[in-house]
């Protein structure tokens, strides 16, 4: 896989939004949009190597998405299982390393088993690192990390003096990931909706109007090119 070009984003995170509206515009049920959205993921995954993107993280289901109808939630869970079933082989041969973030406790056992298997199966890959967020929420993740940290302190393996940003980050779901350089949200909404709150402290954001099922590799390439022109100062003053 080519190296990330100078000024290129190494880690891109995407809030894949707008599937429901895309379907409604066509007079179809929301799940029709989710299926179309799932097909887009492959195109974006395949575009990453040429753009020098080594880490791609996609938001598939939030901790708040349980508020949707039972039909939509069940349909999405089934879609995740189907996605894994259908894509596993192609991901493996393309050298993609797949990992999942989010709380698995509320997910059905069958899905969790498939997620574990795909992680294990691709664990030797070192091409694109694809991370899929399912039942993920930034606040939930930080809360779970704080709880585990507290447990380590209670057990005497750490003390309060060990608690700093670096230690806390080791307890996050994303412990194996660099921070995102660029966060893209489709569908015209300019909000974060609880995605990678801690990790995106210094990310660049790009909000595009395109609904996720219409988001092409060409548009992805344009957004990445736009990122390269930005001046990231991280609080400092350019020399």
60 binds ligand IPE (CB under 6 A): yes
* Cβ distance to ligand IPE smaller for residue 79 or 158: 79
41 makes contact, choosing from ligand IPE, Mg ion, none, with CB < 5 to 8 Å by partner type, with none
**DSSP per position, 161-212:** GG-SHHHHHTTSTTTTSPPPSEEEE-TT----TTSSTTTTTT-EEEE--S-G
Q: What, of Mg ion, ligand IPE, none, does residue 61 touch, CB below 5 to 8 Å by kind? A: ligand IPE
Answer positive or negative: Cα dihedral of 18, 22, 25, 28. Answer: negative
- Binder of residue 193, out of Mg ion, ligand IPE, none (CB less than 5 to 8 A by kind): ligand IPE
* Stretch near Mg ion under the rule CB under 5 A, chosen from 11-19, 66-74, 99-107, 225-233: 11-19
Between 16 and 115, name the residue whose CB sits nearer to ligand IPE: 16
Residues 6+ apart with CB under 8 A from 222: none
Q: How far is the CB of 207 from ligand IPE (least distance, A)?
A: 12
For ligand IPE, the binding residue among 8, 9, 11, 17 (CB under 6 A) is 17
Give the active site residues. 17, 65
Q: Does 193 bind ligand IPE (CB under 6 A)?
A: yes
With respect to ligand IPE, which residue has the nearer C-beta, 21 or 81? 21
Which lies closer to ligand IPE via its Cβ, residue 141 or residue 149?
141
Residue placing its CB nearer to ligand IPE in the complex, 9 or 213: 213
Helix (H, G, I), strand (E, B) or coil at 146: helix
d(CA 182, CA 232): 11
Among 17, 140, 141, 206, binds Mg ion (CB under 5 A): 17
Instruction: Tell me if 227 sits within 8 A of 33, measured CB to CB.
Output: no
Q: What is the closest distance, in whole angstroms, from the C-beta atom of residue 21 to ligand IPE in the complex?
A: 3
What residues does 12 pair with on adjacent strands?
56, 182
Rounded CA-CA distance 84/133 in Å is: 13
**What are the two backbone dihedrals, phi and then psi, of residue 98, each rounded to the nearest 5 degrees?**
-105, 135
Q: Does 15 bind ligand IPE (CB under 6 A)?
A: yes
Between CA 158 and CA 238 the distance in angstroms is: 39
Q: How many residues bind ligand IPE (CB under 6 A)?
A: 17
First to last CA, the chain: 33
Question: Which residues contact ligand IPE by CB under 6 A?
Answer: 15-21, 59-62, 65, 76, 187, 189, 191, 193
């Amino acid at each position: 896989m080519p190296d990330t070009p100078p000024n290129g984003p190494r880690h891109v995170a995407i809030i894949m939004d707008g599937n429901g509206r895309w379907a409604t515009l066509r007079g179809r049920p929301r799940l029709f949009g989710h299926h179309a959205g799932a097909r887009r993921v492959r195109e974006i995954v395949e575009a990453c190597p040429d753009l020098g993107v080594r880490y791609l993280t996609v938001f598939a289901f939030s901790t708040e998405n349980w508020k949707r109808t039972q039909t939509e939630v069940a349909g999405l869970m089934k879609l995740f299982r189907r996605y894994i079933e259908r894509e596993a082989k192609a991901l493996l041969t393309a050298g993609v390393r797949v990992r999942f973030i989010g709380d698995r406790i509320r997910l059905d056992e069958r899905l969790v088993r498939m997620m574990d298997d795909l992680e294990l199966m691709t664990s030797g890959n070192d091409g694109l690192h694809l991370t899929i967020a399912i039942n993920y929420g930034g606040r939930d993740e930080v809360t779970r990390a704080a709880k585990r940290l507290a447990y380590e302190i209670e057990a005497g393996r750490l003390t309060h003096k060990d608690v700093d940003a670096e230690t806390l980050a080791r307890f996050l779901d994303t412990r194996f990931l660099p921070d995102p350089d660029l966060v893209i949200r489709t569908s015209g909404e300019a909000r974060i909706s609880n995605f990678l709150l801690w990790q995106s402290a210094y990310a660049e954001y790009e909000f595009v109007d395109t609904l996720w099922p219409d988001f092409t590799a060409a548009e992805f390439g344009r957004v990445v090119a736009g990122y390269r022109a930005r001046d990231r100062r991280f609080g400092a003053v350019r020399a």
